[in-house]
Structure 1
């Protein structure tokens, strides 16, 4: 394991002799690398909470995990969703830094500014992703002792939710054993890839109910969904991933290219690849990872941000290994982790599920379907709860979300949001963060 190398975004005042006199305030951001395995380097970027009335020690720490696998939290989550600045480098009014410190990590290794020196080191399954993150978190909390007692939450999006579930269970056990010192308080699974089959089986009915499929289209989508179900039932997960790409092609053909991240938008078709080795897998990569590496964000990360960070090796390009990350995880991609959520609930870990109303790729119907499969003894009581309407402010009359909770399970239905909830409904997402982290508003 390598040292947790860090750089700071603030300068310190120096005496003429070069001795540090004092730091004018707590550093607002830090970043660095952790070598999680030999020749496997994970990049992280920490922002301290920025609240006018509270010090960072009075607010929680949130680890943000992006999806893909292969999409960059330090890039997309930071500049497109919840960080202090947007990709135009303008302040974001709904940054989560108002409510928490945020730790972005580019994982699995090879994502974003993370990289491997040897192509055999890409993660191929969830267990490797989890073990790498345990190395990182162990190093982080050992070096950054100021965060050891602060409430710590893991928030996630898309495939990041699948990773968050596995990481949360392992972290909970590590805290119980005393091998990692942190105040882990729970995990939030946003539009999360917990049960791929439940998502796929709900695509047809969801699109049909929103007038985006007719009877013929519904029949075609249902047929390919059944192919995927058959492959999963035979434990042919690599085949299921390829068929998943085929299913998305069928949907695009029948819906005039509906956007998988928000059904109110339209996907602009593009050439998937001139390479013919696996068109469905290439198409999947385009939708799940490449869409998050838009040209403007790519230019920002490989230009001004790279210069600011000063520690990115010359051989590393932001997103340069992202396709390798995705393809190496293809066999793992369609495997469900409902059992891990059950284990989290049984261990009394707080679990929050939140989902955007307009998301297709991980639609809310699919999320509700896998929740119904939980073996958690309190599921019946949770299901019987009446949901409560939420508003972004006391003055607002527009319903922004619905919320239901029982014991250590909560669900947020976020209205008028797609797959990237904080991008589409920033105010409601920030309110949700405060609710999840038990902050009075």
Structure 2
């Protein structure tokens, strides 16, 4: 494989206490990739994968950032979906991604919580049942990674989450912030405000969890609902099958007939990628979304002065823009009235002159409206997503 292969709490990590057991870590000989397991509780194992950016540059006033990506679901795999379908160095065909977020930061993907993707428990009773339980596990993971990943020392760390992962990131951000205040974590805050990014925040959760990603399914199948010239006939059988596997809901209806194909996410994660990593137990099978985890399962951050950034795809039918806006309007933050009164600013990206997004900012609250994007913003609008993450992380990369 090529060497370069998200609520965000921006911290320069210092010496942290280790997790409950010695981590299992391996990687490439040159250290550009590291991966491993951390036993966050007895018999509960979280899998993580770190990529060191080949574009690293740093100055005393602008250190190179690190992004920890948390997938949604609940129960979806960040190591698989976020990595190979959205922002990692390679796509599902294992070809370089031109819009990889490694251009702006180092990346860490984690299969969170335990029981997701390559992460596993030795007893199903150890699966988490609340967001705060996953936050405790993820905090234990960060403590271990501070020792396992040398570049985390002095690097601002951003927790970036998608969909339900926004709830994960929010609770994890609060958990870490509380630990810092209590003196349980020895960290140095970055020069900029600590930041938290909740991407595509889930509002009225019960209304959304059982719905499939209709827009992305139609788009990937060549049946774009906002296009006047698309038709099902424009898709090859293989692209339709890939779209079905990509859709969480419809993919679960297909069975395993395509699981061995190398051009599907299931195929690579249970084939060439599992072989590359070497440390995945033989009886652990990667799946897009863990049903066991699914069913087992920001005001405080603003008061801490933490930067809260919400971004939402205009065409997202899972986490709608209306829902995200409604969530913001219910905040008890003292700056909310002024925030809501400000106009949105247009954003542009790439050679086209059209508006790609809008943003509204006041103090430590920021909201991005991403045009022409569904539930998976980095996949649907990679240019503006890359520009946005560079701005949020204040990456020194040009």
Q: How many residues align?
A: 347
CA distance in 2: counterparts of 1:170 and 1:43, whole angstroms: 20
Say whether 1:410 aligns with 2:366: yes
Say whether 1:154 aligns with 2:159: yes
CA distance in 1: counterparts of 2:360 and 2:162, whole angstroms: 20
What do residues 89-113 of structure 1 show as CA deviations (whole Å, max 9, x unaligned)?
0000000000000111101100000
What do residues 52-94 of structure 1 show as CA deviations (whole Å, max 9, x unaligned)?
7569x94101110001111100000000000000010000000
- 2:307 corresponding residue in structure 1: 350
- 1:220 corresponding residue in structure 2: none
Say whether 1:423 aligns with 2:391: no
Give unpaired runs (5+ residues) of structure 1.
Answer: 12-26, 201-240, 269-283, 330-340
Classify the secondary structure of the residue corresponding to 1:187.
Answer: strand
CA distance in 2: counterparts of 1:435 and 1:321, whole angstroms: 31
CA distance in 1: counterparts of 2:339 and 2:363, whole angstroms: 8
TM-score by length of 2: 0.79
- 2:27 corresponding residue in structure 1: 8
Say whether 1:324 aligns with 2:333: no
CA distance in 2: counterparts of 1:356 and 1:297, whole angstroms: 23
Q: CA shift at 1:263, angstroms?
A: 5.8
- 1:434 corresponding residue in structure 2: 390
1:252-401 equivalent positions in 2, closer than 5 A: 264=226, 286=249, 295=259, 296-319=264-287, 322-329=290-297, 341-393=298-350, 396-401=352-357
Classify the secondary structure of the residue corresponding to 2:384.
Answer: helix
352-361 vs 44-53, which moves further: 44-53
Classify the secondary structure of the residue corresponding to 2:302.
Answer: helix
- 2:242 corresponding residue in structure 1: none
Q: CA shift at 1:285, angstroms?
A: 6.9
Give unpaired runs (5+ residues) of structure 2.
Answer: 1-19, 233-246
Classify the secondary structure of the residue corresponding to 1:377.
Answer: coil
Question: 1:320 and 1:88, CA in 2 relative to 1: closer, same or farther beyond 3 A?
Answer: closer
Say whether 1:60 aligns with 2:70: no
Question: 1:288 and 1:402, CA in 2 relative to 1: closer, same or farther beyond 3 A?
Answer: farther
What do residues 205-227 of structure 1 show as CA deviations (whole Å, max 9, x unaligned)?
xxxxxxxxxxxxxxxxxxxxxxx
The one of 31, 40, 44 equivalent to 2:35 is 31
Question: 1:357 and 1:350, CA in 2 relative to 1: closer, same or farther beyond 3 A?
Answer: same
For the pair shown, which has the larger CA radius of gyration, 1 or 2?
Answer: 1
Say whether 1:187 aligns with 2:196: yes
Classify the secondary structure of the residue corresponding to 1:88.
Answer: coil
